[in-house]
Structure 1
Amino acid sequence: MSELSEMKCEACQIDAPKVTGQELIDLSKMVADWTVENRDGINQLERVYKFKNFKLAMEFTNKLAELAEVEFHHPGILTEWGKVTVTWWSHSIKGLHKNDFIMAAKTDQLLNS
């Protein structure tokens, strides 16, 4: 995970390639706590983070929002009492790009910051 979390997102244009089947397998191993969900034919990375209360969930959400702005790559975020569901995918290509795995790894690091 650490090598992914040290990478920067690249600009993802509409013609950028989605990850291949083998890349999906390899990159998924690097963010093992994330699952690939298929919604309306679009692969997305998703993870649910658990917290002791709403305040801690919101603090995590705010850190994630700041990270997303810095990297200019934005996830789906559902903040509830005691949990935050984060979903990464590249809207422009309607699927998964290496950027999504980079951001998943960076999101995991927020737990330690």
Structure 2
Amino acid sequence: MNDLVTLSCEACQADAPKVTEHELAELIREIPDWCVETRDGIMQLERVYPFKNFKLAMAFANQVAELAETEFHHPGILVEWGKVTVTWWSHSIRGLHHNDFIMAAKTDALPRS
């Protein structure tokens, strides 16, 4: 488990700083199973979690939703048979903030039974 899991999200306003290239290189090492994707010019963190069936995938997606509500930071969640794709980015700054890395680490720490 990394230090990101112990942190909480901060309120992110439209003028909040995006992570720098240097910060990105350091932070991504703490969540090695995540990929940086760019969609419509917006950098996002994404990971696909495999599951044995739809019911387990849905249960995990619900855990991610509860986590998002607790931290007041919300991802994209795609539930399919046997997998859940989670995508974190900060809508207000149209890119990546420290909050996204915190949430990715917290998502990794959720139980997947």
**Residue 8 of structure 1 pairs with residue 19 of structure 2:** no
TM-score, with normalisation over the residues of structure 2?
0.97
CA distance in 1, matches of 2:72, 2:85: 19
TM-score, with normalisation over the residues of structure 1?
0.97
Amino acid of the structure 2 residue aligned with 1:110: L
CA distance in 2, matches of 1:82, 1:106: 21
Query: Secondary structure at 2:8's aligned position in 1?
Result: coil
**Residue 87 of structure 1 pairs with residue 87 of structure 2:** yes
Amino acid of the structure 2 residue aligned with 1:88: W
CA distance in 2, matches of 1:41, 1:2: 29
CA distance in 2, matches of 1:89, 1:63: 18
**Residue 49 of structure 1 pairs with residue 49 of structure 2:** yes
Match of 2:98 in 1: 98
**Residue 39 of structure 1 pairs with residue 39 of structure 2:** yes
4+ residue segments displaced more than 2 Å: none
Paired residues, number? 113
CA distance in 2, matches of 1:33, 1:111: 16
**Sequence identity of aligned pairs in percent?**
73
What residue ranges of structure 1 are gaps of 5+ in the alignment? none
- Cα RMSD (Å) of the superposition? 1.1
